[in-house]
Structures are given as C-alpha cells and as structure tokens.
Chains A and B, each alone.
Chain A
C-alpha cells in the first residue's frame, strides 16, 4: 500500500463523524472512481486514492486538504452550488454534466463527470454527500471518434446504397434484407421479399456451374466475385457485377451472405453491341472477300478468254496473209506486198500487246513467296542472255549486290525488264555502258541500274511506270509500255518504291527499294 493510504486512514479517524461503516469505507477505498465525501457545510471529509490521482494532488498537500478544501468554495463548482445544495436538501442524487477542468498545477484540461449523492442517517437525515468523479476525457474522445466513424460509415453506406444493390441472403437462398436500390432495379417490392428466393432472379441463360461454384465458395466462408445476369420481376434482364461476402458468426459458420452488386447492364449491352458489330463486320469482310474472289475469278476467266479468243483471229490474219504472200506472192506488185508486210507487222504487234497485257495482269495476281536470296547470280544470268540476244557491244559494270528479302521469281522479272530497257535505250550509243549496283542509306538499300542511253524527259517521269504509257515513239524504240509497269507492280507488291532519274547528256538511272524483313513476315 502506498503512502497516501496510510495518510488517508489517519484522516478518516480524525474527521469521520457520521459514517463509520468500515465496509463502506473499504468500498470507497477500492473504487476505481475518484470518490470524496463532504459534510453538510461542504468540508472535505474523506477521499480515496483515485481522487488523489485524478486531481494530481502532491503527497505533501494531501493532509492539508482536509482543513482547506470546501466544495462550495471550489471555483469549478461555482455554477452548481444551488444544485449541490439541493442534494443536501432534497436527498436526491444529481449528476452534473461533464465539465472541462484544469488540473492542479497543470496546463492539461480534462473532462470530468461528477455525481453527487447523499448519505443518510438512520433517521433519514442527510449527514454527508458523496461525490464520485470520473475523468471522461478519453470516453468523450472515443465517443467523438465513434460518432465520426459512424458518420463516415453512414456516408459510405449512403454512397453504396445509391450505387449498389445490397442483398442479404440466408443459407437457404432466401432474401433477408435488401436496400432500396434492389427494389429499384429488380422491380420487386417489400411485399415480395417474404416469398422471394435469390434464385428467382436467375435468367436461365447462365451456366449452372456458375451458381454451383458461387455457393461452394461462399459456403466455405470465402468471398465470391463475378458477373451475373438477372431477371427483374417485370422480366427485364439486368447485369450485375457482384461480390458476395459470407457474414461469419462467432461459431465460425456463416449465418448469412451479403451481396454487393453494381448494375453493369449498360456496359454489358455495349459489349454485346460491340460483339454484334464485330460479327457483322466479319460477315461484311467475308462477303467482300467473296466478292473480290468472284471478281478475281471473273478476271481470270476474262484473261483466259482473251488469251484464247483474241489470238485465234490474229492467227487467221497472220496465217492467211502469210499464205497469200507465199502462194500468190509472185502475182503481187511491190505496193501490195508492202501492204501485206504492214498487216503482218500490225498483227505481230497486236499479239505482243496481248501477251504483255496477260503478263501484266498475271503479275498482279502472283502470290509472293518471300525469302532472303542473293540477286547476283540472277543478274549475271539475265545479262548473259539478254546481252547475247540484244546487243553484244553493251558493257556491263556489275557491283556485288546485297541480299534481298523478297520473291526471287518476280524480282528476276524486275531485273529482266530493267536490263532489257537499259540495253534497248543504249542501242544508238557508240559505247553503251550499263552499271548495276546498290547504295545503302540509313534505313534502306537502294538498288539501281544506270545507263548512258537516250534517257527520258523528266517532265513525264510520272508516266514511266504506267501501263501502255510510252515516252518514245515505236519507230525510235519498239515496245508496248508494259515492262516498267510490271516492274512497278512487283516492287509495290513488295512494299518498296521505284523511280527513275534522267538528265539530258548524262546518265539515266532506275532505282528501287525492297523493305527488310519485318515482324509481319515472320511466321
């Protein structure tokens, strides 16, 4: 026991007048609440250790309190004197509202709750009053916090209520509690709730396994999350993003299940719309593809027909004009023979046009088989053949060409056409020189063929690669104007670029690029 208790005991001996019940005093001593006893004149008669603690009374001041402290003189109770006196007069207890009090020798202020009640003699006369005081600062603080928390929770609940459907369901799937949002969306009313099972909301469109999984999960005490399709009372479909939390009892078993659902019908509708649009789009693409395939098929049939039927009459013209010359040539004069000559030349040209046209249309339909290949042997082979056939005087300067990623068959056609062109347009030059090479820039390789031939007028450069467009007369240079169109078609199919440059009295060059292997090309 501490020093204070000893002191108190002495004090009681001296001061106690009307109450001497030992057990009562023991009770006061043991009370955790600050308890003090006053005479009818307000003089402090007795107090316990909790009182000393509450008021932070220094040990050497304890003894002095008995002589000096009077409750009616305490400024803390200045406003309550009337009330305290009533306790004496009427013998009823009074509870003062909590009061902020400055503690002894301290800047600290505490809220103290005070309850006065009278002690009566055997003849009912009031002998003393007891004051029980309690520091309720912490209590008030936690109350304030609690109120704040409750307020926050209620704000959250309000927010949740506005946006979410809240349902509580028991183990049998019966709805126990729902919020207003539930009624709003499900169209059920309070009177339906008694007979309503959560399974009544099912649409039948969802797989049974979903519900099985749901119940299995929450019965294990785990949270289930998922998207659900529901049917309202009026038969409308609504979608929810639902979280179901088992509410676990102290026994550890879930007593009910709380469902929080947000209405995602709009999102689901939008998703459906997108799926529908996509499927329509696919159908549209399919249809277009079929149209294109049909068109390609028709074109194929057209080319086939052209190759057969257009040639037959040509053969008749060349054949019979040839026979005419052969069988009746002796009877014809020079002029008639010249006419025959023109007819045959014309038909030959026409045949060439047909062949080139077919060739050109075929190039458009060729499927590229891309791979990395070395163009050097291909170029050598073409030069060997074309030089021998067309102009043996032609001098070729060939640089080593870097590998190409492309379709070697069609790139061969590109080189063939460009080389034939170069030979053709240098035929009138005394020392024809054709250079084949490449130059590397930052991100691409440019392949080129340069010649010292007649060149072309740069003003018409855009016409170079168009089919049947010619920049020279047939007398000057024969040709149908298909070669460069084929070159351009092939290069474009490869995703590359092709262009020509020519300067009078200087060189003429044709350039092309082929893109490198990209991600798309990898399989």
Chain B
C-alpha cells in the first residue's frame, strides 16, 4: 500500500476549482489538492508524460474529481483511458459536473465512474456535498491500493 494524501481535481474553470478547494478544505481535507486544468494535463499526470515526466505513476491519488466539460481531451475520454490502464484503473473517479443530462450520467457510469454528482449552484449545498463526499471517500471508503 502506497501512502498518498493527494486529491486530484480535473477542472478548467479557476473559479470552480478555487471554490472546490475552499469547500474541500472546509470539510477538513489536509493533504495536497492537485488541480489539472485540462484533459491532456490529466493524462500527462496519470501516465507520467510531459510536465509530469518522472512522476511515480504507481502512486495513485485518494480520489479524482472529474469535470466532464474540459478542454483538449474530454472528461469521458480521460475516464476511459484511466480505466483502460491496469495501473490506474483502480482509482476512484467521481464525476463532478454541471450537467444533469441523462446521457452524460449514463455514459459516465458506462465508462466506469464511481459516482456522478451534479454541482449545486447554491454554495451551502455545494459545500455540504463536497463535505459528505470527502467524508465518504477519505474516511469510509477503502481503495484497493
């Protein structure tokens, strides 16, 4: 078991990521929160390429918050590639999207999302959602690594 406290946030909107970070911190996350700004950067991170060359790719984050509508490589493609690789396929991926469109939800689960959350607009709801999420994935859930 490789100890790692990192949480990965794949999100292109800086306001959204700041908000997410605030909410995560509020809910007691102490470890590193890594923001990946687009799909390509996410792939670099997971597979040790580009700016992440040399990264210990076997070290997986505690969980990934994935927005679907991100530049370059879409969220669903990123999810697909993470699941296709035997070193990365065990990481919990929580889709965190603005879209409540049924087809997005279905596609995400089909590609192996662990959970699908629609970002609430109301900040209180937003905070409490992320707080529950953190509690579940960091405290209760056991990963395979």
User: A residues engaging B (CB < 8 A)?
Assistant: 304, 307-309, 311-316, 318-323, 344, 347-348, 351
Contact = CB atoms under 8 A, between A and B. Distances in A.
Nearest to A347: B121
Nearest to A300: B101
A322 B121 contact: no
Nearest to A321: B123
Given A322-B123, A347-B121, A315 B99 contact: no
Nearest to B12: A312
Contacts of A344: 123
Nearest to B101: A304
Nearest to B123: A322
A311 B101 contact: no
B101 A318 contact: no
B100 A307 contact: yes
Nearest to B104: A304
A322 B126 CA distance: 11
A348 B99 CA distance: 17
A348 B98 CA distance: 15
A410 to B, nearest CB: 15
A315 B119 contact: yes
Contacts of B100: 307
A321 B123 CA distance: 9
Interface in B91-119: 97-101, 119
Q: Which of B22, B119, B121, B123 has the most CB of A within 10 A?
A: B121
B101 to A, nearest CB: 6
21 contacts: A304-B101, A308-B97, A308-B98, A308-B99, A311-B98, A312-B13, A312-B98, A314-B121, A315-B15, A315-B19, A316-B16, A316-B19, A318-B121, A318-B122, A319-B19, A320-B19, A323-B22, A323-B123, A348-B122, A351-B121, A351-B122
B124 interface: yes
B62 interface: no
Interface string B1-25: 0000000000001011001001000
A307 B98 CA distance: 7
A344 B123 CA distance: 9
Contacts of B124: 322
Nearest to B69: A308
B126 A319 contact: yes
Contacts of B13: 312
Contacts of A320: 15, 19
A309 B22 CA distance: 21
Contacts of A308: 69, 97-99
A318 B69 contact: no
A319 B15 contact: yes
Nearest to A315: B121
Contacts of B121: 311, 314-315, 318, 347-348, 351
A213 to B, nearest CB: 57
Contacts of B122: 318, 348, 351
Contacts of B123: 315, 318-319, 321-323, 344
A36 B76 CA distance: 127
Q: Which of A309, A314, A322 has the most CB of B within 10 A?
A: A322
B128 to A, nearest CB: 12
B101 A315 contact: no
A413 to B, nearest CB: 15
Nearest to A351: B121
Interface in B20-41: 22
B9 to A, nearest CB: 15
Nearest to B68: A308
A7 B16 CA distance: 147
Nearest to B14: A316
A312 B12 CA distance: 11
A503 to B, nearest CB: 39
Contacts of A315: 15-16, 19, 98, 119, 121, 123, 126
Nearest to A327: B22
A437 B123 CA distance: 42
A23 to B, nearest CB: 122
Q: Return the 5 tightest CB-CB contacts between A and B, nearest first.
A: A322-B123, A351-B121, A319-B19, A316-B15, A308-B98
Contacts of B126: 315, 318-319
A313 B122 CA distance: 12
B119 A307 contact: no
A300 to B, nearest CB: 9
Nearest to B22: A323
Nearest to B26: A326
B119 to A, nearest CB: 6
A323 B23 CA distance: 10
Nearest to B15: A316
A311 B19 CA distance: 14
Given A318-B121, A347-B121, A348-B121, A312 B101 contact: no
A312 B122 CA distance: 11
Q: Which of B16, B99, B100, B123 has the most CB of A within 10 A?
A: B123
Q: Which of A311, A313, A351 has the most CB of B within 10 A?
A: A311
B95 to A, nearest CB: 13
A307 B101 CA distance: 9
A387 B13 CA distance: 40
Contacts of A309: 98
Nearest to A362: B101
B57 to A, nearest CB: 30
Contacts of A304: 99, 101
